[in-house]
């Protein structure tokens, strides 16, 4: 999870660790990335996400406060729930472990 991290990250990196019919596990590497303004993410599958390194702020459409994640923090984003990444640490890589499932 902590090796083979690109030194230059102009875009977030999404890498499948395991992918199957009903479940996909991926590593996401961010550094100063966020969801574009005015855009919401809304997925067809549930997602359980854990922050392994760095920090990040997420917000849900129906919640006013940003949820700040630090290493070891995790949450579940149920399918069809609008959310966005407000910010990720711009001084170090933020590494996520995401599990997408039915």
Token duo for residue 7: 């030194």
- Residue 1 counted as domain residue: no
Count up the domains in the chain and report the number.
Answer: 1
Of the candidates 101, 100, 99, 102, the residue with the CA atom closest to the CA atom of residue 52: 99
- Residue 8 counted as domain residue: no
Give the angle 30-75-4 at the CA atoms, nearest 5°: 30
End-to-end CA distance of the chain: 24
- Domain of residue 19, residue span: 13-101
- Model pLDDT for residues 26-76, shown as the tens digit of each residue: 999 999 999 999 999 999 999 999 999 999 999 999 898 999 999 999 999
- Residue 3 counted as domain residue: no
Token duo for residue 84: 């966005």
- Model pLDDT for residues 62-102, shown as the tens digit of each residue: 898 999 999 999 999 999 999 999 999 999 999 999 999 99
- Residue 21 counted as domain residue: yes
CATH no. for residue 37?
A: 2.60.120.10
């Amino acid at each position: 999870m902590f090796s083979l991290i690109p030194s230059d990250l102009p875009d977030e990196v999404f890498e499948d660790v395991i992918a199957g019919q009903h479940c996909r596990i991926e590593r996401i590497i961010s550094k100063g990335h966020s969801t574009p303004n005015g855009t919401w993410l809304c997925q067809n599958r549930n997602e359980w996400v854990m922050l392994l390194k760095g920090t990040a702020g997420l917000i849900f459409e129906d919640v006013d406060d940003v949820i700040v994640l630090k290493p070891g923090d995790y949450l579940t984003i149920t399918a069809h729930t609008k959310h966005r990444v407000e910010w990720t640490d711009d001084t170090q890589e933020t590494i996520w472990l995401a599990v997408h499932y039915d």
